[in-house]
């Protein structure tokens, strides 16, 4: 409807100008058509119509993007000023009225350094935690001292080493004729390998038979797991004599088959 009103207004202007054209021709000293149009445009009626057109136009906040850019610039400038202040070399304290403020600035700078250090440590710990979780909690091939291996063996810490490392320890103990510890090392190799394969979830609070009951595998593998657990309990906890001629290679093959390491 706005263009209709504009068209009607322009038509009225043209009629008014056209109506005055004969008079202009009759009077040589009359005002020209261009000047007559300028006079019409200066009349209050045209001004009122122009104001109504401006009111009908939608109001667009063209300064929004400029304000956002200004805010982003202020934030970046604040960060830039903060680090400039933080890394700025400390000037020698001046004697006078401003010395108290200089001391306060040093305290604030020390606090800022402490906060920055804590934030960096927190980020580092968070990264390490995320990386360790992404690895699936599988034991890594770490190198332990003889004392650490002995302590892990006594404590039953199966995840202290990988399955292959525990089997190497079992072979070393067999060479020393310490067959009771051999069974312990083989069973820890079994638990470590099953945990890495996702067939059990190792926890120091669980018993060996709890692992058998919660075993995630075939029924045949569960039976073999139960047999190895029973043998280990008799030798380690029951302190029964382990025969020197026990086929350790066969036990190692069973452990490798359950852990998915092959025969």
Q: In this structure, what token pair is assigned to residue 7? A: 């068209």
Higher-confidence residue of 186 and 68: namely 186
Burial 50-72, CB ≥16 within 10 A → b, else e: eeeeeeeeeeeeeeeeeeeeeee
Calculate Rg over the CA atoms of the chain: 45
Domain boundaries, the chain: 2-54, 110-138, 146-259
pLDDT value at residue 187: 94
**% residues pLDDT > 70 (the chain):** 58
Assess whether pLDDT exceeds 50 at residue 21: no
**What confidence score (pLDDT) does residue 171 get?**
92
For all residues of the chain together, what is the average pLDDT? 74
* Length reported for the chain: 263
The reported pLDDT for the residue numbered 60 is 47
What's the confidence (pLDDT) of residue 201? Answer: 92
Q: Is the pTM of this model over 0.75?
A: no
Q: Which residue has the higher pLDDT, 110 or 49?
A: 110
What pLDDT, on the 0 to 100 scale, is given for residue 111? 74
Reported as a single tens digit per residue, the pLDDT across 187-243 is 999 999 999 999 999 988 889 999 999 999 999 999 999 999 998 988 888 877 665
Give the orientation angle of helix 248-259 with respect to helix 163-175, to 10 degrees. 170
Confidence of residue 95 (pLDDT cuts 50, 70, 90): very low
* Mean pLDDT value of segment 42-51: 66
* pLDDT tier, 151 (very low <50, low <70, confident <90, very high otherwise): very high
Q: Are 220 and 257 in contact (CB under 8 A)?
A: no
DSSP string for residues in 90-153: PPPPPSSTTHHHHHHHHHHHHHHHHHHHHHHHHHHHHHHHHHHHHTTTPPP-----HHHHHHHH
**pLDDT value for 132:** 56
235 near 180, Cβ under 8 Å?
yes
The Cα–Cα gap between 101 and 78 comes to: 21
- Cα–Cα distance for residue pair 47/132, rounded to 1 Å: 75
Fill in the DSSP letter of residue 159: G
Highest mean pLDDT out of 28-42, 63-77, 166-180, 233-247:
166-180
What is the predicted pLDDT for the residue at 225? 94
Contacts of 140 (CB under 8 A, 6+ apart): 162
- The token pair that represents 89 in the structure block: 């070399």
**pLDDT tens-digit series, residues 97-139:** 555 555 666 677 677 777 777 888 888 877 876 665 544 444 4
CA 118-123-125 angle, 5° bins = 95
Gap between the Cα atoms of 209 and 207, Å rounded = 5
């Amino acid at each position: 409807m706005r263009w209709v009103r504009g068209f009607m207004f322009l038509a009225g202007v043209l009629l008014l100008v056209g109506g005055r054209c004969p008079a202009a021709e009759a009077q040589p000293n009359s005002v020209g058509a261009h000047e007559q149009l300028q006079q019409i445009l200066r009349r209050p009626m045209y001004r009122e119509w122009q104001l109504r057109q401006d009111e009908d136009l939608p109001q667009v906040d063209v300064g929004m993007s400029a304000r956002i850019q200004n805010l982003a610039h202020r934030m970046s400038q604040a960060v830039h000023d903060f680090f400039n202040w933080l890394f700025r070399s400390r000037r020698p304290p001046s004697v006078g009225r401003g010395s108290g403020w200089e001391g306060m600035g040093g305290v604030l700078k020390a606090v800022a350094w402490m906060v920055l250090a804590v934030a960096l440590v927190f980020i580092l710990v968070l990264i390490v935690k995320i990386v360790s979780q992404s690895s699936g909690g599988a034991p890594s091939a770490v190198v332990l001292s003889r004392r650490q291996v002995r302590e892990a063996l006594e404590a039953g810490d199966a995840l202290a080493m990988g399955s292959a490392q525990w089997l190497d320890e079992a072979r070393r103990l067999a060479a020393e004729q310490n067959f009771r510890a051999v069974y312990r090392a083989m069973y820890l190799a079994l638990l470590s390998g099953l945990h890495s394969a996702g067939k059990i979830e190792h926890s120091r609070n669980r018993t060996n038979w709890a692992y058998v009951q919660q075993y995630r595998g075939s029924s045949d593998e569960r039976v073999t797991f139960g047999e190895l657990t029973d043998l280990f309990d008799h030798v380690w906890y029951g302190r029964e004599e382990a025969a020197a001629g026990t086929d350790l290679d066969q036990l190692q093959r069973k452990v490798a088959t359950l852990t998915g390491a092959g025969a």
